[in-house]
Structure 1
Amino acid sequence: MVTGIHSALSGLLALQQKTAATAHNTANVNTDGYKKVRVTLHEGVAPGTVEPRAEKIETPGPVVQEQTAAGPEMVEKSNVDLAQEMPNLMLSRRYYQANLKVVQSEDERLGSLLNIKS
């Protein structure tokens, strides 16, 4: 496989996992006791590849008092902060666009190369 395309596809797959984790966190922002997942991108084992690493962030969420059938109880809320999730999602979108541009450029370069050869 062509190195530029391989690197870009590796990045796209890693960003797909990062975006899925952000979507999951956002969907569970109001789930009591939910712990967010953070995906970080690292250099892969193979040259020019990206490896996503997911980890659960165990910091406690805010604790609030809620009225239940048994009376008032202290309940831990989710530790997801939308003020962090939305910028992460916007950055992932830009990174995704950049990787797509690499694939497009490599495709055009290979097309030109094949046209010259024929």
Structure 2
Amino acid sequence: MSISLSTALSGVSAANERLRASANNVANVNTDGYRRERVEAQTNAAGGVSTRVTKLPEPGSDLAADVVEQKSATYAYVANLRVLQTQVRAEGALLDIHV
């Protein structure tokens, strides 16, 4: 698998995890004692990104931050998906030339 495909796939996965965590935070906004989840991303040496979900130390909600996180993660998801689509199209064009 090419580096660009691997990087874009890890980006899609990271954006998906960010969406999941922020949706969970929004769903539990009225739950007493709920500690919000936060997704921490780290760049891999081989390219791409890995994520880790942590709980904030104190209970509480921040609905505005979670909605912004959902929008940001959605844009990241779409951007990485576009990279995947472009790479697949380019590889398809190369295969068409060599056939």
TM (norm. structure 2) is 0.94
Aligned to 1:9: 9
Aligned to 2:54: 55
Structure 1, residues 6-52: CA drift from partner, whole Å, max 9, x if none? 1111111121111111111110000001110100211125x112111
Aligned to 1:85: 66
| Greater Cα radius of gyration, structure 1 or 2 | 1
Whichever residue aligns with residue 34 of structure 1, its letter is Y
Structure ranking higher in helix proportion: 2
- Report the secondary structure of 1:31's partner residue: coil
Whichever residue aligns with residue 54 of structure 2, its letter is E
Aligned to 1:117: 98
> Which consecutive segments of 4 or more residues in structure 1 shift more than 3 A?
none
Structure 1 residue 116: Cα displacement: 1.1
Say what the alpha-carbon RMSD is for the aligned residues. 1.1
Whichever residue aligns with residue 107 of structure 1, its letter is V
5+ residue gaps, structure 2:
none
* Larger RCO: 1 or 2 (CA < 8 Å, sep 6+): 2
5+ residue gaps, structure 1:
61-78
CA contact (8 A) 2:18 2:69 kept: no
- Report the secondary structure of 1:40's partner residue: strand
Whichever residue aligns with residue 63 of structure 2, its letter is L
CA distance, structure 1, for counterparts of residue 85 and residue 21 of structure 2 = 26
CA distance, structure 1, for counterparts of residue 98 and residue 57 of structure 2 = 57
- Report the secondary structure of 2:51's partner residue: strand
Structure 1 residue 91: Cα displacement: 0.3
TM (norm. structure 1) is 0.79
